[in-house]
Amino acid sequence: MKTVKEYIRTIADFPHEGILFRDVTTLFADPKGFRMAVDQMLTPWAGEQIDKVVGLEARGFILGGAIAHQLSKGFVPVRKKGKLPGATISQAYKLEYGEAIMEIHEDAIAPGEKVLIVDDLLATGGTCRAGTQLIERLGGEIVGCSFVVDLPELGGRKLLESLGLPVSVLCEFEGA
């Protein structure tokens, strides 16, 4: 039986030379692999109260939607600035070169709601950290953060755990 990691392909020099891109679309395309990933992403949170699932742009929408459906809970997207149609709140965060802004609808999460954050890949943790700040500003309580892939050399897991956030990953890849 294949593992989740075996469904993920690596593409060298994408999007830039020297980058090893971990492509989860091959995981999503395989029904057994996709089901395995969704089930395994849910396992660490069994028994936890979860009111909403937040997916981080963009592959987090695919995983988050599937996980929210499995739990019969609502799904909330956290998107890049300017992509959501309603009133939003924003959070800037640092990239390797520059800055980006993530947004969430201001009415997406009610105070006290328990939230699971989902994305495909954990690198530096910047995107997830921006998402946690948005959720906390709305009064949401973060149950945990669930990822398919961790790139441990980039320190995202250490960052999130240093903030007291429970983190679950299905597999790790060395190299950025």
Tell me whether residue 57 is one of the annotated catalytic residues.
no
Q: Which one of 59, 79, 129, 157 is the catalytic residue?
A: 59
What span, in angstroms and rounded, lies between the C-alpha atoms of 72 and 82?
Answer: 28
**Exposure of 78 in the CB half-sphere (CA atoms within 13 A):** 31
Compute CA 75 distance to the chain's CA centroid, rounded to the nearest angstrom. 13
Tell me whether residue 59 is one of the annotated catalytic residues.
yes
Q: Which one of 9, 17, 48, 96 is the catalytic residue?
A: 96
The SS3 assignment for 113 reads coil
Residue 53 contacts residue 76 (beta carbons within 8 Å): yes
Alpha-carbon distances, residue 104 vs 55, 94, 132, 134, 172 (angstroms): 11, 18, 11, 7, 29
Q: Please list the active-site residues.
A: 59, 96
